């Protein structure tokens, strides 16, 4: 059997081999660290429609980069044309070499260097079609490489203020990637100069070479360019598993895992390891993070935080300097749950720290209270904005609801600050005590004014009660006509708190409520894209001044249409943004209490200033 071979294929082939072995080894190690129970779930789902959905998403995101396209069309085009163009070049080359080969089996290098081995196309069916398509796809890829080079040096042309800094492996892979396709263009064009077999792009370039080079020079130059092409491919393949380009294949695994039922992990192994390696360091999360856009801190965002974990760099500052607002999760085209990964790393950093909460009194059965309508849990932050619990009391009274104000003296906590600091055991202790206290009130409904508490009660407690945020309760009271509101000619902008919106997916209750008292004006940064107020309790690293910059910027964007009032549904958001809002910032409970038929005016601005941050 005759085999196409020339020594220049060796760098390509060996590079491919090295990459294949490293990738297989890495993936096996990571797969082994996925818990057996998760693997069982995955295997159970593998022969179901879920696999088809995974396949579809792999095409839409892995090749066409739909999510990046939606966020930034130019960037999306660049990624999509490189990935899809290169993929189709390989597919088309494989089909062409199948048509053109006499042998049953192609060697791995046949589709890659096909024109070198089979320069005369007369024997190949559809030869002209392949010649055209290969030129066309090469042109598409070359354009995307040109875009990539421009973006690296003038990222603002792509609407990006920052691009990520490269590690050595990234640089090696990136520069070889940039060289691969120009090398191929020259090799193919010189081949066209040699055999007159080129397409609409390679033949004119080949003719140009012929115009000033002798036949011998063309042959020598062509052979040299095949070597260069092969070496550049090898360089990229060898660097790829250690560079950000590891994301190319890893993202496909991640998509498959999600569709097959694995969605998160509580350590840095298994699923999380795939997430970490699926980050393409596209940099989208940098500009979308307010620490960068408003406070000028541009080295802690997921691109760098994940890079730190992957390359074992010191990442404590990156792990803790984050508001945990989740905006980056919303915008990440790979859908990496970076907030979860930060919580894991914070937990690891605190493994040796222990807190005890067993001094808190046990609540015994015989202390159970009479059945009340609702238990009201204001939350620590609401106690720092007392006008909010005061408004809720007005609403309860107006609606004729009996309630038990369980944290009236402010003595209990949902445990979320401990959780987000990575002190998960201490948080569990505290949750148990808080649960006992809430259960002792013998009610079926728990109402809270704080979205942070709300999310924690829903996700981390096992209260066997209906937990609602006060926005939902107010909506229910309006629908059941237990409260009546005055509608006024009021323009209202609603600020979605991170934990209520992105955290719990609740966007509509508040808007429905506010429509009863005024006109809700839509803004650009709302719902999933809502800004963080900057006051997050999850970040004790960022300075007070930087927080103020973020709060001021958020208020500026919320005030763009000069609304009469900016309403939020979170005591922390209200507290943080109030001082920049000229008295326009209110909690939804406050505006509803003011709008009650018999409601009294709540003085929402008389509060002490809260200093959350380390100066
Ligand atoms: S975390 Fe997501 S958005 Fe950020 S660089 Fe990685 S892939 Fe891009
Ligand atoms: S969670 Fe918020 S603060 Fe943290 S990196 Fe993401 S966008 Fe920035």
Note whether 416 and 554 are same-domain residues: no
Packing angle of the helix pair 9-32, 215-239 (nearest 10 deg) = 10
How far, in Å, are 18, 110, 184 from residue 4 at the CA level?
A: 22, 7, 19
Residue 530 and residue 398 in one domain? no
**Cβ–Cβ < 8 Å for 569, 451:** yes
Phi-psi region of 467 (alpha: psi -120 to 50; beta: other; left: phi over 0): beta
Specify whether 84 is located in the same domain as 207. Answer: yes
DSSP H or E stretch at residue 275: helix 270-278
* Nearest alpha carbon to residue 452 among 495, 407, 419: 419
Residue 459 and residue 542 in one domain: no
- Of all protein residues, whose CA lies closest to atom 2 belonging to ligand 1? 332
Q: Kindly state whether residues 435 and 465 are assigned to the same domain.
A: yes
Structural domain ending residue among the three candidates 420, 455, 476: 476
Atom of ligand 1 nearest to the CA of 247: 7
3 state DSSP class of 302: helix
Ligand 1 centre to CA of 71 (Å) is: 12
State which of 457, 476, 495 marks the end of a domain: 476
Task: Give yes or no: residues 560 and 421 share one domain.
Answer: no
Residue nearest to atom 4 of ligand 2 (CA): 322
Q: Please check whether residues 490 and 558 belong to one and the same domain.
A: yes
Residue 295 lies in a domain: no
> Which strand ranges, in their side-by-side order, compose the sheet holding 565-568?
519-521, 491-494, 565-568, 585-587
Q: Are 78 and 284 in contact (CB under 8 A)?
A: no
Task: Using DSSP, state whether 491 is helix, strand or coil.
Answer: strand
Range of the domain at 513: 486-595
Among all chains, which residue has been given the structure tokens 């993202």? 251
201 lines ligand 2 (CB under 6 A): no
Location of structure tokens 């107020």? 533
Task: For 20-56, write each residue's pLDDT tens digit.
Answer: 999 999 999 999 999 999 999 999 999 999 999 999 9
Give bridge partners of residue 566 from the DSSP assignment.
Answer: 493, 585
Ligand 1 atom closest to 301 (CA): 4
CA distance 551 to 116: 62
pLDDT tens column, 168-199: 999 999 999 999 999 999 999 999 999 999 99
306/317 Cα distance (integer angstroms): 12
Regarding the beta carbon of 280 and ligand 1, being less than 6 Å apart is answered: yes
CB of 326 closer than 6 angstroms to any ligand 2 atom:
yes
Q: Quick one: how far is CA 409 from the chain centroid?
A: 39
Q: Are residues 77 and 217 in the same domain?
A: yes
- Distances, alpha carbon 396 to alpha carbons 372, 374, 389, 487, 504, in Å: 12, 9, 10, 20, 24
Mark whether 433 and 500 lie in a shared domain: no
Please tell me the distance from the alpha carbon of residue 302 to that of residue 329, in angstroms, as a whole number.
Answer: 9
Select from 484, 495, 472 the least CA-distant residue to 517: 484
Give Cα 8 distance to the centre of its chain: 42
Same domain, 497 and 458: no
Q: Is 210 exposed, middle or buried (0-12, 13-18, 19+ CB in 10 A)?
A: middle
State in Å: Cα 88 to ligand 1 middle. 25
- In this structure, is residue 439 part of a structural domain? yes
Which residue, 227, 252, 269, sits at the end of a domain?
Answer: 227
**Within-domain flag for 314:** no
Burial 395-408 (b: 16+ CB within 10 A, else e): bbebbebebbbbbe
Q: Is residue 613 part of a domain?
A: no
Query: Do the domain assignments include residue 347?
Result: no
Tally Cβ neighbours within 10 Å of residue 316: 12
Instruction: Indicate the Cα dihedral angle 549, 551, 553, 558, nearest 10°.
Output: -170
Looking at residue 161, its pLDDT comes to 78
Residues 393 and 492 occupy one common structural domain: no
Nearest CA to ligand 1 atom 8: 282
Reduced DSSP (H G I as helix, E B as strand, rest coil) percent helix, strand, coil of the chain, to 5: 55, 5, 40
Ligand 2 contact via 322 beta carbon (within 6 Å):
yes
CA of 540 to the centre of ligand 1 (A): 23
> Residue 175: its pLDDT value, please?
96
Distance 154 CA to ligand 1 centre (A): 19
Give 202's contacts (C-beta < 8 A, 6+ positions apart).
135, 138, 185, 188, 189, 191, 192
CA dihedral 521, 527, 529, 534 (to 10 degrees): 90
Region for 437 from its dihedrals, namely left if φ exceeds 0, alpha if ψ lies in -120 to 50, beta otherwise = alpha
Whether residues 404 and 517 fall in one domain = no
Query: CA angle, 141 as apex, 138 and 145 as ends, to 5°?
Result: 135
pLDDT for the residue 597: 66
| Ligand 1 and 238: CB distance under 6 A | no
CA 249 to CA 26: how far, in whole Å?
12
pLDDT of residue 359: 62
Helices 9-32 and 270-278 sit at what angle, rounded to 10 degrees? 140
Tokens standing for residue 280? 């393409």
Does 454 map to a domain?
yes
Give the Å distance between the CA of 497 and the centre of ligand 1: 23
Measured in whole angstroms, the distance separating CA 514 from the mean position of its chain's CA atoms is 30
Pocket test for ligand 1, best of 246, 272, 280 (most atoms within 8 A of CB): 280
Which residue CA neighbors atom 7 of ligand 1 most closely? Answer: 279
β-sheet bridge partners, residue 492: 520, 565
Asked if residues 267 and 294 have their Cβ atoms less than 8 Å apart, the reply is no
Q: Which residues of the chain have pLDDT under 50?
A: 366, 598-615
Rounded to the nearest angstrom, the distance between the alpha carbon of 276 and the centre of ligand 1 is 10
Structural domain tally of the chain? Answer: 3
The answer to whether the beta carbons of residues 346 and 374 sit under 8 Å apart is no
CA 596 to chain centre: 41
Q: How many CB atoms lie within 10 A of CB 245?
A: 20
Tell me the best of 283, 301, 309, 529 to mutate to test the pocket of ligand 2, counting ligand atoms within 8 Å of each CB and taking the most.
301
Instruction: Verify whether ligand 2 is closer than 6 Å to residue 330 (CB atom).
Output: no
Distance in angstroms (rounded) separating the CA atoms of residues 317 and 300: 7
Residue 303, ligand 1, Cβ within 6 A: yes
Answer yes or no: are the C-beta atoms of 379 and 449 closer than 8 Å.
Answer: yes
47 C-beta neighbours (distance < 10 Å), count: 8
**Which domain CATH number covers 553?**
3.40.50
Q: Is the CB of 319 under 6 A from ligand 2?
A: no
Closest CA to 246 of 213, 281, 220, 219: 281
Written as six digits, the tokens of 584 are 């326009």
Residue found by looking up tokens 């390359």 in the block? 311
The answer to whether 590 touches 573, Cβ cutoff 8 Å, is no
**Domain assignment of residue 390, yes or no:** yes
* CB of 279 closer than 6 angstroms to any ligand 1 atom: yes
**Alpha-carbon distances of 491 from 495, 561, 568, 596, rounded to whole Å:** 13, 9, 14, 18
Within-domain flag for 614: no
């Amino acid at each position: 059997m005759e085999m196409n071979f020339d020594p220049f294929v060796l760098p390509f082939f060996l590079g491919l081999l090295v990459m294949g072995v490293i990738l297989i080894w890495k993936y096996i190690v990571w797969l082994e660290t996925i818990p057996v129970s998760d693997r069982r779930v995955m295997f159970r789902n593998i022969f179901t429609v879920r696999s088809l959905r995974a396949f579809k998403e792999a095409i839409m995101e892995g090749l066409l980069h739909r999510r990046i396209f939606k966020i930034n069309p130019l960037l999306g085009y660049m990624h999509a044309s490189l990935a899809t163009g290169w993929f189709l070049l390989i597919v088309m080359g494989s089909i062409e070499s199948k048509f053109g080969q006499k042998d049953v089996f192609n060697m791995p290098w046949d589709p890659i260097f096909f024109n070198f081995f089979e320069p005369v196309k007369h024997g190949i069916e559809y030869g002209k079609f392949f010649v055209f398509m290969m030129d066309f796809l090469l042109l598409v890829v070359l354009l995307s490489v040109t875009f990539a080079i421009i973006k690296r040096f003038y990222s603002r042309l792509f609407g990006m203020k920052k691009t990520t800094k490269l590690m050595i492996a990234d640089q090696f892979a990136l520069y070889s990637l940039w060289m691969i396709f120009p090398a191929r263009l020259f090799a193919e064009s010189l081949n066209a100069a040699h055999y007159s077999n080129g397409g609409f792009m390679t033949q004119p370039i080949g003719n140009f070479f012929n115009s000033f080079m002798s036949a011998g020079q063309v042959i020598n130059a062509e052979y040299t360019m095949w070597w260069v092409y092969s070496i550049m491919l090898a360089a990229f393949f060898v660097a790829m598993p250690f560079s950000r380009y590891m994301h190319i294949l890893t993202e496909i695994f991640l998509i498959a895992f999600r569709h097959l039922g694995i969605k998160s992990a509580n350590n840095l192994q298994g699923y999380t390891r795939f997430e970490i390696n699926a980050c393409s360091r596209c940099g989208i999360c940098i500009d979308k993070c307010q620490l960068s856009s408003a406070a000028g801190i541009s080295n802690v965002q997921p691109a760098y935080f994940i890079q730190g974990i992957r390359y074992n760099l010191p990442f404590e500052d990156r792990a803790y300097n984050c508001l945990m607002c989740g905006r980056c999760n919303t915008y990440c085209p790979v859908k990496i749950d970076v907030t979860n990964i930060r919580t894991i790393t914070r937990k690891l950093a605190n493994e040796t720290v222990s807190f005890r909460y067993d001094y808190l009194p046990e609540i015994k059965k015989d202390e159970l209270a009479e059945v009340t309508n609702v238990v009201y849990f204001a939350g620590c932050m609401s106690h720092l904005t007392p006008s909010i619990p005061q408004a809720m009391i007005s609403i309860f009274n107006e609606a004729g609801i009996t309630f038990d104000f369980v944290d009236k003296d402010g003595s209990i906590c949902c445990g979320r600050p401990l959780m987000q600091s990575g002190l998960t055991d201490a948080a569990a202790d505290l949750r148990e005590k808080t649960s006992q206290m809430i259960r002792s009130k013998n009610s079926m409904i728990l109402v809270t004014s704080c979205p942070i508490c709300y999310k924690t009660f829903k996700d981390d407690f096992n209260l066997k009660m209906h937990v609602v945020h006060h926005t939902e309760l107010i909506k229910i009271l309006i629908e059941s006509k237990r409260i009546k509101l005055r509608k006024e000619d009021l323009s209202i902008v609603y600020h979605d708190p991170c934990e209520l919106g992105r955290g719990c997916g609740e966007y509509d209750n508040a808007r429905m409520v506010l429509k009863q008292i005024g006109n809700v004006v839509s803004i650009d940064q709302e719902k999933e894209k809502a800004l963080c107020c900057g006051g997050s309790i999850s970040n004790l690293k960022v300075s007070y001044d930087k927080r103020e910059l973020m709060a001021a910027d958020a208020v500026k964007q919320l005030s763009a249409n000069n609304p009469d009032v900016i309403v939020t549904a979170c005591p922390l958001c209200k507290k943080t943004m109030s001082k920049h809002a000229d008295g326009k910032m209110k909690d939804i409970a406050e505006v509803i209490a003011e709008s009650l038929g018999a409601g009294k005016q709540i003085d929402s601005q008389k509060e002490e200033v809260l200093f959350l941050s380390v100066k």
